[in-house]
A and B are shown apart, each in its own frame.
Chain A
């Protein structure tokens, strides 16, 4: 039986599934329920400075994108950091940590960009017995307008500076949470590393407007006839998040920087994918908000079954295993040639592959009068669009041509050797093959 115990920058938890800093972790009540349901750790909802807490809107805070059958694919929110007094949160954190010593409790923190603010609050929070800090440099709405959240995360120098203050103020691990609302995720990640951060976590939410009310002519969620951009999350953002995780993991300068992966993780497979790309653990929010805390049971059973099947004894065995296979386009093997194949037994003759290929791709699928669909190898460029639009999983697959086999499209035999763009004759910058 696979061991799911997790050690992320020295923070131990019974499994690698943490709840991200967000509404599900705002209160002792929720966090206790989460731990009872099986979550390995929580990043407590972001704490702000002492004094009167922030206030939230009193109208709707969330907007959503639904897929077929009203499946929630993307969620956005305009909620701010915790709106409960700091001392209340600290008392509750201390009680929870005392009762769940084996679970991870991380404090998310966001205070103004002043050294004394950060250096005063961190030791105060550390008294709760929490296991580490996550610096919220990510929230894109509300707090950013006040010079915090993503306003800090978008300026690498600020990230470095605040991370350094925090490392001076505490011995506990410091995780910097990154915003995706930037041009290149490596700049903030490198800044966090320079500042001495123990790890980064990403992604925070993405600036978004999920829908427009066409009667009121206002973005949703609408507050008294007006709306504002909110932070987008959920399954829809997973591809964006995974790319950013991979970019940090494969960048030589940041390759050793531990990553806590966040962004649309809903199933064990999502978690395994993030971890294969280099995340040491994962954080989840939208899935819990959609289905409840119990959802973690599937993540635990699924990940351990998969690890058993693959022979991985601990999560460290597979973390980062896919990272070396993330490369630049120019290094992809141009001599690797595939052709689509339609399994006629599985085909239900809907014709979506035909429409997609005929109208928008390479006219490489033939349709007979009795609705039999076949691939024209002499036209197929193996774009994979037919595979992706086919409603039957596994019905259309890609067959790899053997070396020496004729590619009917180009009338040339498949080359046995690896060949990429850097050495391709059409590349004006091509170097001679060695």
Chain B
């Protein structure tokens, strides 16, 4: 292969295999035993701890850190998993800097929080790697529950429901379970097929059947599920991608960031994956950062992340923004796309500078681009769903939808904030409510 970052157009193999391996290595390598003990030692075991309150799944963080400190990481893992069965993935992808670690009293005191995320990873990895599953199913109830979507919300709900002795069938449109954990997260956050291993481990509780390649509205109907199952949980995520709505959007080289991220995660050999020399990512969230950083790590020469409002309005956390900057991604703010320019394929893209209220300034700028990734949000897809509110399935605090017997949670439902950990909490809480309803 003779391609380099300078090769024109969209090309594969811009970097040597060794460079790719290094670039896509674990972003936060796991603590070794010594590091874990030193990190755990810093926890004050706060009363009614702020970190615990900040965690959407209410993990008893002081307790699990103390269990690490006293040499029982397996017990720590159990403390974590009892609240959040996907605690292993959350340890990798949670924006801890805006959740538990942001409110850690040592962050307040010293500007250096206890490294809760990495400690959680240390404990959960230990237990998952033993292959043991720490939870047992209650006696079989004979009740059947359909879970649509094998992402964080669906898996969390399925596990909790199976634990109560119900028989759960999880349907997913893709070829593999895991949802965004498997298809939608930057590769360096989940190395060594962790998402897949986590799903396998989760299913060890028993009582859960996964049926892949089954999409709602495409061989799978809600009416059928309602008739055949005692309850239905929808955790279908957001399948659609927002369009830019500008001229030239259909030109070659203009792609959805979520597809790029999914292809990258599923790639057997990163060297086979084509990427542009000049890449422009449009958006300001985690997906935009994941796409931009990975484009750079694949060997793109120039990567710009362009967001229409100011830096402080970006959904991507400061940590993510800094990560992008440190990898050489140029972040451009207050610029809205105006037109995609090129003859058949994109050559450049024109932006107009806009203020924080998106008021156009009349000033424009053109960025060279042989590849453009759209990451300006996703939308709910599907017909015949329960009542919607602002484009998502309307749910109450327990995940109940407008239709009796159907619950929903995760990104497809109102109330979420597009975080894995929130989806896990919503799936779990809906499962509790389903169980209560079925036991009543």
Contact = CB atoms under 8 A, between A and B. Distances in A.
Do A and B associate with each other? yes
Interface stretch (A111-119, A157-165, A179-187, A300-308): A300-308
Q: What are the 6 A-B residue pairs with the smallest beta carbon separation, nearest first? A: A301-B75, A267-B70, A302-B72, A291-B45, A298-B66, A305-B75
A301 B68 CA distance: 11
Interface string A273-311: 000000000000000000110110110011001100000
Interface string B1-42: 000000000000000000000000000000001100100011
A301 B34 CA distance: 22
B63 A305 contact: no
Given A69-B42, A305-B72, A305-B75, A298 B34 contact: no
B217 interface: no
Given A292-B47, A393-B34, A302 B67 contact: yes
Nearest to B106: A69
Contacts of B63: 294, 297-298
Q: Is the interface of A mostly helix, strand, loop or mixed?
A: helix
Contact of B37 (A292, A294, A393): A393
Nearest to A270: B70
A324 B276 CA distance: 73
A268 interface: yes
Contacts, number: 45
Nearest to A293: B47
B75 A269 contact: no
A124 B69 CA distance: 45
13 contacts: A69-B41, A69-B42, A267-B70, A268-B70, A268-B72, A269-B71, A295-B66, A298-B63, A298-B72, A301-B67, A301-B79, A302-B70, A302-B75
B17 to A, nearest CB: 27
B278 interface: no
Contacts of B74: 305
Interface of A: 69, 267-269, 291-292, 294-295, 297-298, 301-302, 305-306, 346, 392-394
Nearest to B45: A291
Contacts of A298: 63, 66-67, 70, 72, 75
A302 B73 CA distance: 9
A64 to B, nearest CB: 15
A356 B34 CA distance: 22
Interface of B: 33-34, 37, 41-42, 45, 47, 62-63, 66-67, 69-72, 74-75, 78-79
A52 to B, nearest CB: 35
Given A291-B45, A298-B66, A392 B75 contact: no
A305 B33 CA distance: 19
A306 B71 CA distance: 10
A269 B69 CA distance: 11
A358 to B, nearest CB: 25
A158 B202 CA distance: 63
A297 B34 CA distance: 24
Contacts of A268: 70, 72
B72 A301 contact: yes
Contacts of A292: 45, 47
Contact of A295 (B45, B72, B79): B45
Contacts of B67: 298, 301-302
Contacts of A392: 34
A318 B67 CA distance: 22
Nearest to A266: B70
A268 B414 CA distance: 44
